[in-house]
Amino acid sequence: MAIRPPLKELNIKTHDKGFYKGFNRFVTVTSKILVILVVVWILSDIERSGAMLNAMKNWSYTNLNGYYTYSIAFYILVCLTVILWPSFGRIKLGSDPNGKPEFSNFSWFSMIFGAGIGIGVLTYSAAEPLWHLANNPDLIMSKEVILSSLSTNGIALPAGADVFAFYQDQVAASALAPIDGLVLPRSEEALDTAFRYSFFHWGISAWSTYCLVGICLAFFAYARGLPLTMRSALTPLFGKHLEGPLGHVIDISAVIATIFGISQTIGIGLSSFASGMYSITGITWLVTDTANPEPTTGALLLSLFFVMCLSTASALSGVGRGVKWLSNINMVLSFLLLAFFLIFGASMFALEMLGKGILSYVVHLPAMVFTVWDPSTELGNWQTSWSIFYWAWWIAFAPFVGMFLARISKNRTIREFGLIGIVAPSLTLFVWFSFIGGTGIDLELSGIAGGKIFDSGLTAQLFEIIGFMLNPAMAGILSTMVVVLLLTYLVTSADSALLVVNTLNAAGKVEVENGAKHIIVWGIALTSVIAALILAGGLDAITSAMIVAAIPFSFIIILMAISLLKALILDIARAKGP
């Protein structure tokens, strides 16, 4: 029996006049209403709404940790399958066999990296290895072994005592025999696990999620000629039904996930930006406490207004101008910052951590990807606080990054898209974590920092590292460069998100007659959402909203993966003939 030809036309109705000319009015208006309702709900009772957002986050942590874990594992498996399977990987994401990519490899990678994760890496490359050095699953399991040994030997742990410090005291007093294989916090034994878990969160898991969405969108838009929008990726499953309400709901879910996913990224970036401004200027109102500086609400709101004005202006100039040039600038600045740490940081130590970390990551990746711990345990609490938080973040960020990757990747093959889109950013991030985080760890383990980097807030640790490496004048110059880099990443991420939202609302059209007006509206809407969440609880409230928004879109990505596999398999069957 002959296989029906693939669907190559999807008629998504757009308005033909007025303000919404060129846009699907149902998707656009409904998305705006939902965003407005969220802002009004938060501002109507800031304290109560913040508490409710936190309760929803805790519920998802308790009940959905297994779902998030296995969803990410599924995304990785499907993405690697379509990239590595020979007949799938060589498919070109374009209808013209002689078509050339729109952007050079450097500009393409710069935009992938800048939009995908640039803000987070500046904060977490310094902070995450330091945090995991003090607490990670291996350390927690070592603690459980110590508690079991103490119990077996009839030794009571004093109330409030640190388990590891008490264990070392007991061993030193010969009251307890040393236990082989323990990993102690902030020790050389914990280095392997500190980098392994950092790589786990920022490597293949993140980029497979982004690239899976991007490949789906690019395949159906450029190889099949369907609109560049989320619903198109589900045509093998739902066909023409996607022209109506079902398709509208899918695109609205993508818009909402994009708004809250980018809110999390911008929130992290704003906090780092404000911390950097304090490091440079010493203006005390920027932070709540000069001893342990955390940005004030006023500093975050002022930074937000400044960033969003620049982002909206950049988005108005389009991908080929503002976004492209800003991406190139922040990539150059990123390499300059990384070069500084390569030359003046703990280079040999970092190289050792890079090699050992990658090896440990690859060996343990299958087990880590499929492991789910009981959220009521300490291990489960760590997993929800770190891994599940990241999985929700990557899922909420995926419609934005995936759409943006698809937009800039026409005429590349699936294998090229996937290998460069997964391997290159992952390796770049591993280098960042090793050299910046490794330098911070070396300063602490050598005693130079005296615990000050450990005790700093997450968004201030990079500036603390710079402060210990350089004299005040040089530290000020380098910190200024970091602040400028943060600003360019913030602007690039926000303006790319505005362009993606516009494309979703315009039924996949990149250029729309009234596009500029809608970019301004969505710039105001995104600013309002982030400002409201900052008032409702700062980064915690933003994180809570992002995690809730990620839930519906996580299921849509699963459907997109199944749809892509079905389309590719049927294409092979059609090529073989009856």
Residue 394 and residue 120 in contact, taking contact as beta carbons nearer than 8 Å: no
For the residues 328-339, what does the mean pLDDT come to? 80
Indicate whether 187 belongs to any domain. no
Interatomic CA distance for residues 348 and 341, integer angstroms = 11
What's the pLDDT score for residue 320? 47
Interatomic CA distance for residues 24 and 366, integer angstroms = 43
What's the pLDDT score for residue 261? 85
Provide the residue range defining the domain that includes 89.
Answer: 25-142+199-576
Interatomic CA distance for residues 192 and 434, integer angstroms = 11
pLDDT digits (tens, 9 = 90+) for 448-487: 998 889 888 887 888 899 999 999 889 889 988 888 888 8
From residue 8, give the alpha-carbon distance in Å to each of 185, 220, 503, 573: 57, 8, 19, 17
Lowest mean pLDDT among 232-241, 263-272, 281-290, 368-377: 281-290
Indicate whether 160 belongs to any domain. no
Indicate if the pLDDT at residue 115 is higher than 70: no
Interatomic CA distance for residues 39 and 45, integer angstroms = 11
Show the 3-state SS of 374-404: CCCCHHHHHHHHHHHHHHHHHHHHHHHHHHH
Indicate whether 165 belongs to any domain. no
80's enclosing H/E stretch is helix 65-84
For the residues 528-540, what does the mean pLDDT come to? 85
Reduce the DSSP state of residue 15 to 3 states and report it: strand
Residue 568 and residue 234 in contact, taking contact as beta carbons nearer than 8 Å: no
Lowest mean pLDDT among 4-18, 20-34, 347-361: 4-18
pLDDT digits (tens, 9 = 90+) for 416-447: 888 888 888 888 889 999 999 999 999 999 88
Indicate if the pLDDT at residue 1 is higher than 60: no
Interatomic CA distance for residues 90 and 113, integer angstroms = 23
CATH number of domain containing 124: 1.20.1740
What's the pLDDT score for residue 400? 82
If you search the block for the tokens 């409710």, which residue do you land on? Answer: 52
Q: Give the residue among 270, 168, 314, 358 at the shortest CA–CA distance from 542.
A: 270
Helices and strands (H, E) in the chain, number of each type: 24, 0
pLDDT digits (tens, 9 = 90+) for 51-68: 898 898 888 888 899 999
Reduce the DSSP state of residue 92 to 3 states and report it: strand
From residue 445, give the alpha-carbon distance in Å to each of 191, 285, 450: 11, 32, 9
Residue 294 — very low, low, confident or very high, per pLDDT cuts 50/70/90? confident
What's the pLDDT score for residue 379? 95
Query: How long, in residues, is the chain?
Result: 578
Lowest mean pLDDT among 62-71, 114-123, 241-250, 292-301: 114-123
User: Considering the chain, what is the average pLDDT of its residues?
Assistant: 87
Cα 512 versus chain centre, distance = 29
What's the pLDDT score for residue 547? 86
Show the 3-state SS of 268-297: HHHHHHHHHHHHHHCCHHHECCCCCCCECH
Indicate whether 415 belongs to any domain. yes
Indicate if the pLDDT at residue 315 is higher than 80: no
Indicate whether 157 belongs to any domain. no
Interatomic CA distance for residues 111 and 96, integer angstroms = 24
How many domains are contained in the chain? 1
Indicate whether 388 belongs to any domain. yes
Residue 226 and residue 220 in contact, taking contact as beta carbons nearer than 8 Å: yes
Indicate whether 396 belongs to any domain. yes
Q: End-to-end alpha-carbon separation of the chain, Å?
A: 7
Indicate if the pLDDT at residue 87 is higher than 80: yes
If you search the block for the tokens 């950013």, which residue do you land on? Answer: 425
Give percent helix, percent strand, percent coil of the chain, each to the nearest 5. 80, 0, 20
Indicate whether 149 belongs to any domain. no
What the block records as the tokens of 197 is 């878990």
pLDDT digits (tens, 9 = 90+) for 169-223: 998 988 888 888 888 998 888 998 999 999 999 999 999 999 999 999 999 999 9
Residue 230 and residue 504 in contact, taking contact as beta carbons nearer than 8 Å: yes
pLDDT digits (tens, 9 = 90+) for 206-220: 999 999 999 999 999
If you search the block for the tokens 């400002």, which residue do you land on? Answer: 531
What's the pLDDT score for residue 290? 64
Q: Give the residue among 445, 464, 442, 463 at the shortest CA–CA distance from 453.
A: 464
Indicate if the pLDDT at residue 110 is higher than 80: no
What the block records as the tokens of 36 is 């407005």
Indicate if the pLDDT at residue 37 is higher than 50: yes
